[in-house]
Structure 1
Amino acid sequence: MDADREGGGRRTPGRAVAYVACGVVLLAGCASMPDSGDLRGVDATPRQDTQVRVYAMPPQEDAEPLDIVQGFLEALTSDDPDYETARKYLTRSAAKQWQPGLSTTVLDDGPGADVVPPVGREQGEDTSFTLTGTKVAVVDAQQSYAPASGEYRETVHLVHDKKTKQWRIDSPPPGVVMGKSDFQRNYVSVNKYYFASNTRAATAPQTVAVADPVYVRERVDPMTQLVRSLLSGPTSWLDPVVRTRFPTGTALKDGVSSLTPDDQNMLTVPLNAKAGHVGLDQCEAMASQLLFTVQNLTPAVDTVELQAGGKQLCSVKENEANGAATRGSVENPAYLYFVDGRHRLVRISAEADAGGTKAEPVPVPGALGDGDKDLRSVAVSRDEHTAAGVGMDRKALYVGSLVSGGSLGDPVLVSNGKTAEDRLTTPSWDTEGDLWVADRNPADPRLLLFKEGAGKPLEVATPGLDGRIRDLRVAADGVRIALVVEKAGKQSLFVGRIEREGRTGDPQSVSVRELRSTTPDLEEVTTMSWAGDSRLVVVGREQGGVQQTRYVQVDGSTPEGPPPAALTGVKEIAASEDDEMPLVAYSEDGIVRLPSGAQWQKVDADGTAPVYPG
């Protein structure tokens, strides 16, 4: 299950408690393998039902070196909490020094192994194998996923113990290695939550919660793993723009090995002395972080209680946490907006029943709905009070209030690009009411920010950007931005971190840093939109392939679950971070939308440029 809900299918209580397993499968290394030659393509374990616990077999007596390697690799894919069985394939010294939590390397297929011929040593006392494969991803010590590519080659060295007369590995590969199918069976992506630290406190309506996706082992007490990960702090990529309310050094109380909600759906979390002297406001913020985090794993939890020194610090219920901090996934837009056949900004109720009486779009109040300016693309602020529109030739950007009788005035930005493709992108609003747009003029390509949608634009620094911005969307949390970047005819999707400097009221410098590729296998990205706290929906095409619509995580991983229903000729797509809202697209059939559990349904035959607020 992915970190964001799939079509309303966020982790159900039944699925969430599946890790209390009702069955066992044993993995065993093949005992009849030859003692010479090559071992190729160690088979990945067939994917098991998620309620079945998988355990490996310890090494057999007098097992040959290849059996030891095979058994060790199989044991890495088991559900042993601390890889106790895998350690039995290692020498005593290696078992103490090996750190499985250092990293998990994911290969396209299970690792193969080549025996290394003995050179300059007596055959029979030791031997080596080279593990090989094609890298797909690496999960680091912070449990953060990152796509990877290239060849994997690591040497495994074995010795023949003179006392026990048994072969054991004395030089294992660093961390853990497994094939993609085993990784999908063993790990689950879940969001932990921190608070945005770079928002302007004077204008931000309330604290903004930011999702930080990590991978935990799905059947090895994932709730406790996730809580420990939250307490350890944000991942390195997100750390510069978020903060935690837990005091430095806060951890679970000594002796606490497992966390389980009670029959009242409350999770009690005993903390060490570092958390013992926090005030009530800070404690409730800490509890809110925990509640947002564990609910992403199991929504059955609706209350979190924090303890320290054997005493209750505070408790927070779901409605209290949602009132203290905002998340995009629980913010409900009032309207869906698009440009109608007369090139005006129109809207319909976001909750209109697409399967019942057809909702008729109506022009928005104000100048952008009056039709004085023909619009090509639009963006509506997250409070739905203001809108921005780009003219038909993509040359001018206008900003207007969604109030009857409001005037439009002169454009806030004019591009000097020679063609429409070399001018302005679709704009996007962040959570602070600032407006973002890119000018694609080859002579002066820029990413620009208008504070509160007005005034002189601030040029945003984009160190590391290699190419020209074709499209952009700012996340609801205001600290991440998705960019479609074009270079040499190829479009790629990247997610960058938004960093702001300067005090409230002073001129700020803003930059987008550490761009991460989220769709390395696509050579064409047609359109994209945020579709959850850490998920996007993307329309694109692989090399030599056909157009497809799919979900991707911000870390570049693929969420579990089916993609949206197929739709041909998609030109633009819009999603809400609240995935209970229908997916909307502009395709060959005009504006269509995809209600949960239904097929694509026509909204407006002549409409274009659909957007939800943001």
Structure 2
Amino acid sequence: MSARPSSVAVLLSTLLALVGCSTVPTSSPVVEITQAPTRVVESVGIEPLPPAPGASPEEIVNDFIDAAASTVPRHPVARQYLTPDAAESWSDVGISVIGTDFATVTTDPGTVTVTANLIGKVDSRGVFTVADRGVFTRQFRLEQIDGEWRITDPQEGLIMLEPDFRRLYDQVDAYFLDPTRQRVVPDPRYLITGGSQATTIVERVIEGPSAPLAAGVQNPLAGVELEGSVTVQGQTATVELTGLPAEPSPLLAQISAQLVWTLQQLDQPQIRDVIVLLDGEPVVPDGVPARQTVEDWASYDPDAVPVDGVGHYLLDGALRTVPDGEPAPGPAGEGAYGLSSAAIGAETPTGALSFLTGTRNEPAGGATLLAGQYGGELTPVLSADSLSAPTVAATRTEAWVVRNGSEVVRVPAGGPPQPVAAPTLGGLGRADLIQLSPDGVRAAVVIEGPQGRRLYVGTVVRSEDDGSVVLRDLRAVAPTLAQVIDVGWRDSGSLLVLAGDEGEERIVPYSVGVDGWGLSRVPTSGLPSQPTSLGVAPTRQPLVTADDAIWQLTGGTWSTLVRGAESLPGTAPFYPL
């Protein structure tokens, strides 16, 4: 194994000694190899060094991996570690992100094997796919060119250490529309830092959604072409399009909302407003100025929640409200139904709480789903041996549950239960928890399988022809967590998870992106014991049950619902959507 420090680390150490300061990453995804990294990687402006004279095969491979941490197009320094033929043909498209504690070992003369913890891969469109449990192994063959070792057979794509990836790449959401065209839906992409992000992300939107999401969203920009680069002057981005239909007016508002929500995330440079040109003429939908902002398209907000959507929870089967524990209106607040779980939907666009659904456990066994108007009478709509807690989304008035661990069922307000096909569910195990994303396009599912209770995210696909609904492409997003007990959508693109701490075998909260990137612990300071259930929603303070009472997260610390007051007893917290 090579013990020579990497060329990047040597240069960084010299510079840091001169300035007398250093910084380290403040967060990192949970990985299987937990030894602290030995290299410092924080300064974006530092470029890798070319091969050192007389470097050993292991040192060449080590430094080739370091050389991936470059913002220069086509990675010319990395190509210097390759033979001339390999340097000519090697493609640097795509990234394998690995942990910092990797090993390079000479297995045969001129052959070096790299072993690492694979965190995930990024494809040519900037889509991240989290890696399942396992070890990354890559074999390199080297030969001597003019007395210096060089790599002959690099596989396509970069191998990049996780801190380098965090340092050089930004997560930027490409936004598409949910099937009702009420909200924009995030599709995370990872773009190299720098001024080209505005053009790149618009190109990604025009290309379309990532494969897992594609069937569940609409893309009004499909078939449109971008004329030149996106220009940014001050805080204003200008996007010039061509190729829209002869009568594009029905699409103009949707396209504008899509572009504005996508571009306003950028801070290199920061973009405040967007001018959209169609064949050179400004696009000005009714009532919207030429310089468009997210405020002009607030109705498409992916994380909008009802203004009066306060937290709710259950106490002895009765529905209570946050923060004072007052009974919710109607029989449910009086405990008439003995609920064990509940969910509430709001009207669009008023935001008034309108749809209440909940489950109760029957004395003779089994469970019943009830539904009705918020504040009014509930009626039984579905029975089974077991039912998961119901879930709702903001874009449709319907509840979803898992029946008997294997069947996904949706119940439209005022309508009969409808089956939801889930073709990949049966092969994974038994599901006992499902949570729809706020936009209704994704569903998080907890499944008990051979490797424990794991978290999956699938895409909701609705047919316009026959009205059928399918939950497709269930994929693990937190494979290092095998003891998941609850999950909720912190916003449209990230999840809060209660899961087992592998090191200490206790339940703690985690945050993770919808694509599996950025798994990190959430503080537990203030909690009296392990949390057992949670309730989250965009822009709302997370709630958990711990010690049979309700706690909320405020400023990194869990506290009682009324700071300084006694904790209120309760279970199964949630927020309306």
Q: TM-score range by the shorter chain?
A: 0.7 to 0.9
Question: Where in structure 2 are the equivalents of 1:40-439 lying within 5 Å?
Answer: 45-49=39-43, 52-60=44-52, 65-101=57-93, 103-109=94-100, 111-118=102-109, 127-148=110-131, 149-161=133-145, 167-197=149-179, 199=180, 206-218=181-193, 221-248=196-223, 250-251=225-226, 253=228, 256=229, 261-263=232-234, 265-271=235-241, 273-274=242-243, 279-298=248-267, 300-307=270-277, 311-313=281-283, 315=290, 316-323=292-299, 325-327=300-302, 329-348=303-322, 359-383=323-347, 384-393=353-362, 395-403=367-375, 406-409=376-379, 411-415=380-384, 417=385, 423-430=386-393, 431-439=395-403
Once the two structures are TM-superposed, the CA of residue 100 in structure 1 deviates from its matched residue by 1.5
- The 5-angstrom pairing of residues 459-498 of structure 1 reads 459-465=419-425, 466-487=428-449, 490-498=452-460
The AA in structure 1 aligned to 2:233 is D
Tell whether the 8 Å contact from 1:368 to 1:389 is kept in structure 2 after alignment: no
If asked which structure has higher relative contact order (CA below 8 Å, sep 6+), I would say 1
What amino acid is aligned across from residue 49 of structure 2 in structure 1? M
Distance 1:560 1:261 in 2: 34
**Partners of 1:439 and 1:447 within 8 A in 2:** yes
1:533 is matched with which residue: 477, 480, 492?
Answer: 492
Q: What is the CA distance between 1:282 and its match in structure 2?
A: 2.7
Residue identity matched to 2:310: L
Instruction: Judge conservation of contact 1:107–1:135 (CA < 8 Å) in 2.
Output: yes
Contact 1:44–1:182, Cα closer than 8 Å, also in 2: no
1:555 matched residue in structure 2 = 515
1:611 maps to which of 570, 574, 577: 574
SS at match of 2:378: coil
How far off its partner does 1:489 sit? 8.6
Equivalent residue of 1:172, what SS? Answer: coil
1:29 touches 1:74 (CA, 8 Å); kept in 2? Answer: no
RMSD of the alignment, in Å? 3.1
* d(CA) in 1 for partners of 2:55, 2:283: 54
In structure 2, distance between residues paired with 1:276 and 1:93: 47
* Matching of residues 516-527 of structure 1 within 5 Å: 516-527=475-486
Residues 339, 376 of structure 1: 8 Å contact kept: no
- Looking at structure 1, the residues matched to 547 and 361 of structure 2 have their Cα atoms a distance apart, in angstroms, of 19
Deviations 1:153-208 (A, max 9, x none): 3233334446xx655433213201123333333333332210123x4xxxxxx522
In structure 2, the CA distance between the partners of 1:341 and 1:276, relative to structure 1 (3 Å rule), is: closer
- What SS is found at the alignment partner of 1:330? coil
Whether the 8 Å contact between 2:509 and 2:521 is mirrored in structure 1 is no
**Residues 225-280 of structure 1, C-alpha deviations (whole Å, 9 max, x = no match):** 43332232211111111122224262451xx3xx56433x2212344x44697735
Q: Which moved more, 1:541-550 or 1:515-524?
A: 541-550
Pair 1:556–1:43, CA change in 2 (3 A): closer
CA-CA distance at 1:111 after TM superposition: 4.2
Residue 66 of structure 1: CA displacement? 4.5
- Evaluate the alpha carbon distance shift between residue 561 and residue 586 of structure 1 in structure 2; reply closer, same or farther with a 3 A threshold: closer
Could you tell me how far apart the structure 2 residues matched to 1:473 and 1:281 are? 33
TM-score under structure 1 length normalisation? 0.77
Matches of 1:105 and 1:468, distance apart in 2: 32
Which range moved further: 484-493 or 470-479?
484-493
Shift in alpha-carbon separation, 1:287–1:169, aligned structure 2, 3 A? farther
Aligned length: 524
Change (3 A) 1:399 1:293: same
- 8 Å contact from structure 1 (residues 493, 519) kept in 2: yes
Structure 2 counterpart of 1:104, one-letter code: I
The AA in structure 2 aligned to 1:400 is G
CA distance in 2, matches of 1:261, 1:209: 23
- Residue 483 of structure 1 and its aligned partner are, at CA, apart by 0.8
Look up the equivalent residue of 2:325 and give its one-letter code: P
> Which residue identity does 1:549 align to in structure 2?
P
Give the whole-Å Cα distance in 2 for the aligned partners of 1:450 and 1:565.
39
Q: Deviations over 1:24-77 (max 9, x none)?
A: x982789xxxxxxxxxx997641315xx41211223466554554333221112
Displacement of 1:426 after TM fit?
0.8
- Equivalent residue number for residue 513 of structure 1: 472
What SS does the corresponding residue of 1:243 show, helix, strand or coil?
coil
Partner of 1:499: 461
Given that 1:241 and 1:499 are in contact with CA atoms closer than 8 Å, whether structure 2 keeps it comes out as yes
The separation in 2 between residues aligned to 1:166 and 1:609, in whole angstroms, is 65
Deviation at 1:283, TM superposition (A): 3.8
Q: Is the 8 A contact 2:9 2:40 kept in 1?
A: no
Q: Which amino acid aligns with 2:100?
A: D
CA contact (8 A) 1:590 1:602 kept: no
- Judged with a 3 Å threshold, the aligned counterparts in structure 2 of structure 1 residues 451 and 113 are, in CA distance, closer, same or farther, namely same
Contact 2:175 2:205 in 1 (8 A): yes
Relative to structure 1, is the Cα distance of residues 279 and 187 closer, same or farther in structure 2, using a 3 angstrom cutoff? Answer: same
Q: Which amino acid is 1:401 matched to? A: Q
Give the distance between the partners of 1:237 and 1:93, measured in 2 at CA: 37
Paired AA for residue 306 in structure 1: V
Aligned residue for 2:561? Answer: 602
Once residues 9 and 99 of structure 2 are traced to their aligned partners in structure 1, the CA distance between those partners, rounded to angstroms, is 22
**Do the aligned residues in 2 keep the contact of 1:223 with 1:297 (CA within 8 Å)?**
yes
| C-alpha distance in 2 between matches for 1:71 and 1:488 | 39
* CA displacement 1:378-418 (0-9 Å, x = unmatched): 11013320101212446221112124xx3334x11122x2x
- State the 1:146 CA deviation: 1.9
Deviation larger for 527-536 or 423-432? 423-432
* Rounded Cα–Cα distance in structure 1 between residues aligned with 2:262 and 2:86: 35
The SS at the match of 2:512 is strand
| Distance (Å, rounded) in 1 between the aligned partners of 2:337 and 2:484 | 29
Q: Measure the CA separation in 2 of the matches of 1:81 and 1:527.
A: 43
| Separation of aligned partners in 2, 1:45 and 1:278 | 57
User: Do the aligned partners of 1:398 and 1:408 also contact (CA within 8 Å) in 2?
Assistant: yes
- State whether residues 363 and 370 of structure 1, in contact with CA within 8 Å, keep that contact through their aligned partners in structure 2: yes
- Residue-by-residue CA offset, 1:419-446 (whole Å, 9 max, x unaligned): xxxx2211011321111112236xxx42
**Secondary structure, in 3 states, of the residue corresponding to 2:295?**
helix
SS in 2 for 1:469: strand
Aligned residue for 1:229, secondary structure, equals helix
Question: Residues 85-122 of structure 1: CA distance to partner in whole angstroms, max 9, x if unpaired?
Answer: 22233344433422212x2112233543333535xxxx
Q: Which runs of 5+ in 1 are unaligned?
A: 1-24, 31-40, 119-126, 200-205, 349-358, 418-422
Residue type of the partner of 1:320?
Answer: D
